[in-house]
Amino acid sequence: MSMNKYQAYQQNSVTTASPGELTLMLYNGCLKFIKLAKKAMDESNFEQKNTNIQKAQNIIRELMVTMDQKADIAQQVLPLYDFINNQLMEANIHNDQSKLDEAADLVTEFRDTWKEVIKLNRQQQYGQGVQS
Structural domains of the chain in order of their starting residue, each with its CATH number: 18-126 (1.20.120.340)
pLDDT for res 18: 87
pLDDT tens digit sequence for 99-116: 999 999 999 999 999 999
DSSP line for 74-130: HHHHHHHHHHHHHHHHHHHHHT-HHHHHHHHHHHHHHHHHHHHHHHHHHHHHH----
- 17 CB-near residues (< 8 Å, 6+ apart): 25
- pTM: predicted TM-score of the whole model, two decimal places: 0.84
pLDDT tens digit sequence for 45-93: 999 999 999 999 999 999 999 999 998 999 999 999 999 999 999 999 9
When pLDDT is cut at 50, 70 and 90, the band that residue 132 belongs to is very low
Alpha-carbon dihedral angle through residues 69, 73, 34, 53, given to the nearest 10 degrees: 30
Cβ contact 60:85 at 8 Å: yes
